[in-house]
């Protein structure tokens, strides 16, 4: 009953918006309900679709019927914000979905584009950006979501953070199936790096696309594969995005002002320095690697320092956006 209208329409589309046909299909499923599990529900739904000669989306329907039947896991952040995880099974990195619910929308399989649209809107208006990004960092270091209890955290930041957590959880689950390899399904890293970089992107209006600084919406952090493979996501423009991340990081690293150099030196000392200098990528690969997964105390012992240092860096990037653009334009 708390499914967002978008998901309801996607389910009904499989039946040509014929509610009587959907009811008939549902009754047929109920006869075999005891054989279903979260892992096989989509395949079982697919078999029933074939049996009844219905051209439907077995994945959308499988998730819908799975959640309706009580499958999946509910994670409640607070009274108004929560999400469901359902159907993740290794080694299939494209399995599973996470549905987030906020005061702004019912349980929704938040797409990357939907999330980026929300983020862009949030960053275009006067909001407490440091509070929002600090909240992400606290979640990443210690799954700390105490910001929801802060009366100064507005409803837009609250909804955006819930959708970030929902999508990130989905991508991290897939990354874990690849043992947190930085080269295989690192989509949670991609999403988070893009989220951090968007503070610069929105203020400057610029993104790195096809090797050039270009006026563009941050929705371009998501893209379709140019190869025609049908793949899409945050990883398609990874090379360009990380090139810009390294350029911004190195703007501070090699600045004439020692206080600005110190901003990235603090991050280097905490999470390590990459050869290309990219602080954004270094942070996420520090969080998501097998060594720290097995030894969480390594992160816990310096979590407050990481949160402060990276929030300082992000706000320095925001404050210096015009100077960074000028520097990059001269060097490009």
Confidence of residue 111 (pLDDT cuts 50, 70, 90): confident
46 and 169 in a common domain: no
Answer yes or no: is 284 within a domain: yes
pLDDT at 1: 57
267 and 219 in a common domain: yes
Give rounded-to-5 percent helix, strand, coil for the chain.
Answer: 60, 10, 30
299 and 244 in a common domain: yes
Q: Is the pLDDT of residue 243 over 90?
A: yes
CB 80 within 8 A of CB 102: yes
Answer yes or no: is 101 within a domain: no
Domain boundary among 21, 55, 70: 70
pLDDT at 33: 67
Q: What is the spatial distance between Cα 221 and Cα 240, in angstroms, rounded to a whole number?
A: 10
Could you give the angle at the alpha carbon of 53 between the alpha carbons of 51 and 55, nearest 5°? 120
User: Considering its fold, how many domains does the chain have in total?
Assistant: 2
pLDDT at 292: 81
137 and 52 in a common domain: no
Query: Within 10 A of 121 (CB to CB), how many other CB atoms are there?
Result: 13
Answer yes or no: is 13 within a domain: yes
Residue numbers of the domain that contains 64: 5-70
Answer yes or no: is 125 within a domain: yes
Domain boundary among 40, 70, 100: 70
Stretch 60-71: mean pLDDT: 83
Q: Is the pLDDT of residue 260 over 70?
A: yes
Q: How far is CA 231 from CA 25, 29, 241, 314, in A?
A: 31, 31, 18, 30
* Tally of CA atoms within 13 A in the half-sphere of 122 that contains its CB: 26
The residue ranking higher by pLDDT, 41 or 326, is 326
Stretch 97-126: mean pLDDT: 91
178 and 64 in a common domain: no
Stretch 266-277: mean pLDDT: 97
163 and 292 in a common domain: yes
Q: What is the spatial distance between Cα 318 and Cα 203, in angstroms, rounded to a whole number?
A: 7
Q: What is the spatial distance between Cα 127 and Cα 305, in angstroms, rounded to a whole number?
A: 24
Answer yes or no: is 237 within a domain: yes
% the chain with pLDDT above 90: 67
193 and 46 in a common domain: no
Helix H or strand E encompassing 42: helix 41-51
Confidence of residue 158 (pLDDT cuts 50, 70, 90): very high
46 and 137 in a common domain: no
Confidence of residue 242 (pLDDT cuts 50, 70, 90): very high
Q: Is the pLDDT of residue 4 over 90?
A: no
């Amino acid at each position: 009953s708390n499914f967002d209208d978008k998901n309801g329409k996607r389910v009904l589309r499989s039946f040509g918006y014929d509610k009587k046909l959907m009811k008939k299909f549902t009754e047929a499923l109920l006869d075999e309900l005891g054989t279903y599990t979260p892992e096989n529900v989509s395949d079982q739904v697919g078999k029933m679709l074939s049996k009844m000669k219905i051209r439907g989306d077995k994945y959308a329907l499988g998730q819908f019927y799975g959640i309706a039947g009580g499958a999946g896991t509910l994670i409640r952040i607070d009274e108004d914000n929560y999400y469901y995880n359902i159907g993740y099974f290794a080694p299939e990195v494209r399995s599973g979905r996470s549905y987030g619910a906020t005061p702004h929308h019912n349980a929704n399989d938040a797409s990357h584009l939907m999330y980026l649209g929300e983020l862009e809107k949030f960053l275009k208006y006067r909001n407490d950006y440091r509070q929002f990004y600090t909240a992400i960092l606290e979640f990443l270091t210690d799954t700390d979501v105490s910001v929801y209890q802060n009366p100064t955290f507005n409803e837009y930041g609250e909804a955006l953070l819930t959708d970030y957590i929902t999508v990130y959880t989905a991508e991290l689950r897939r990354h874990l199936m690849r043992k947190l390899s930085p080269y295989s399904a690192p989509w949670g890293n991609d999403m988070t790096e893009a989220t951090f970089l968007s503070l610069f992107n929105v203020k400057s209006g610029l993104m790195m696309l096809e090797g050039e600084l270009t006026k563009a919406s941050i929705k371009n952090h998501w893209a379709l594969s140019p190869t025609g493979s049908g793949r899409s996501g945050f990883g398609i423009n990874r090379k360009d995005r990380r090139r810009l991340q390294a350029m911004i990081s190195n703007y501070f690293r090699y600045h004439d002002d020692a206080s600005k150099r110190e901003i990235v030196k603090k991050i280097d000392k905490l999470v390590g320095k990459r050869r290309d200098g990219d602080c954004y990528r270094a942070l996420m690969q520090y969080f998501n690697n097998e060594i720290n997964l097995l030894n969480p105390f390594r992160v816990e012992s310096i979590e407050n320092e990481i949160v402060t240092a990276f929030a300082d860096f992000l706000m320095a990037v925001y404050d210096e956006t015009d100077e960074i653009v000028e520097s990059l334009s001269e060097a490009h």
